[in-house]
């Protein structure tokens, strides 16, 4: 089994961008640069998310205190595959979710990223059209690098 297991506390968001797929990170950084250029001060709040943290977040509002923050169990989120990031506004050095993400979503989409929509406004990912169940299988059997190659190969083929 080749699933990645970076160690991390389950209570804290991971902002280590080096754990993201390099092609995804390039697109994300270009999009964030455009956002900043248009006056939208959004930054990565959380990047790669180990399964343990995903489990912790999924429990919130269900078996643990707090409000519901995700519908995804471990390995059902693109965060576990290094292909998603949550981007949040920063105002006076404080994180803020009290903004419309419509313009940010437009910019991210223009850069090839998929938006989580109104139910998950801060979430941006890239999947290449690969189903999350297939992503789990590919990662388990062949590793993250193979999944990343498959995602970007599908994107490349789509535009040929």
Q: What is the tens place of the pLDDT at every residue in 98-112?
A: 999 999 999 999 999
pLDDT at residue 154 greater than cutoff 60? yes
pLDDT at residue 117 greater than cutoff 70? yes
Q: What is the structure's pLDDT at 147?
A: 98
Q: What is the tens place of the pLDDT at every residue in 123-137?
A: 999 999 999 999 999
Q: What is the tens place of the pLDDT at every residue in 19-48?
A: 999 999 999 999 999 999 999 999 999 999
Q: What is the structure's pLDDT at 86?
A: 98
Q: How far is residue 98 from each of residues 86, 148, 154, measured CA to CA in Å? A: 14, 33, 35
Instruction: Name the 3-class secondary structure at 80.
Output: helix
Quick one: tokens of 6? 């970076």
Quick one: tokens of 26? 């390039």
- CATH number for the domain whose boundaries are 17-152: 3.30.1380.10
d(CA 99, CA 76): 27
Instruction: Name the 3-class secondary structure at 123.
Output: strand
Q: What is the structure's pLDDT at 61?
A: 94
Domain ranges within the chain, ordered by starting residue: 17-152
d(CA 113, CA 90): 21
């Amino acid at each position: 089994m080749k699933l990645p297991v970076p160690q991390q506390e389950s209570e804290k968001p991971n902002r280590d961008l080096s754990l993201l797929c390099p092609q995804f990170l390039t697109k994300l950084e270009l999009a964030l640069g455009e956002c900043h250029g248009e006056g939208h001060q959004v930054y990565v709040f959380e990047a790669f998310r180990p399964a343990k943290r995903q489990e912790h977040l999924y429990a919130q509002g269900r078996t643990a205190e707090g409000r519901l923050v995700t519908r995804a169990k471990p390995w059902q989120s693109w965060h576990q595959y290094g292909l998603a990031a949550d981007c949040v506004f920063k105002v006076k050095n404080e994180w803020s979710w009290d903004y419309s993400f419509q313009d940010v979503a437009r910019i991210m989409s223009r850069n090839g990223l998929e938006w989580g929509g109104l139910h998950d406004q801060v979430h941006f990912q890239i999947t290449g059209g690969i189903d999350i169940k297939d992503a789990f299988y590919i990662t388990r059997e062949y590793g993250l690098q193979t999944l990343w190659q498959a995602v970007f190969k599908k994107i490349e083929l789509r535009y040929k």
